[in-house]
């Protein structure tokens, strides 16, 4: 699952975040919970949790239904 998540982040999520000066790093996958770190402009953005849930989590769950949630660490 880790390889698939890394591919999806690299190909579809990272480019969108980088357009706004942010980035994302996969930290770990533990018990079907994907742990990521938002960096760059995303790190201090008040909208980062909305981006995390409405963009990152929804997309990853749609592509990999086994994922239960995505959390920022």
How far does CA 38 lie from the centroid of its chain? 8
User: Residues 1, 26, 33, 52: is their CA dihedral positive or negative?
Assistant: negative
Domain CATH for 30: 3.30.300.130
- Decide if pLDDT at 8 tops 90: yes
Tell me the pLDDT tens digit for each residue of 34-45.
999 999 999 888
- Decide if pLDDT at 21 tops 90: yes
Number of domains in the chain: 1
Domain range for residue 44? 2-72
User: Rounded distance, CA 30 to CA 3, Å?
Assistant: 14
Mean pLDDT computed over 12-40: 96
């Amino acid at each position: 699952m880790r390889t698939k998540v890394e591919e999806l982040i690299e190909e579809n999520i990272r480019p969108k975040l980088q357009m706004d000066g942010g980035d994302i790093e996969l930290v770990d996958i533990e018990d079907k919970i994907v742990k990521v770190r938002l960096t760059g402009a995303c790190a201090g953005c008040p909208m980062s949790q909305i981006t995390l849930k409405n963009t990152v989590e929804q997309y990853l769950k749609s592509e990999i239904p086994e994922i239960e949630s995505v959390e920022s660490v």
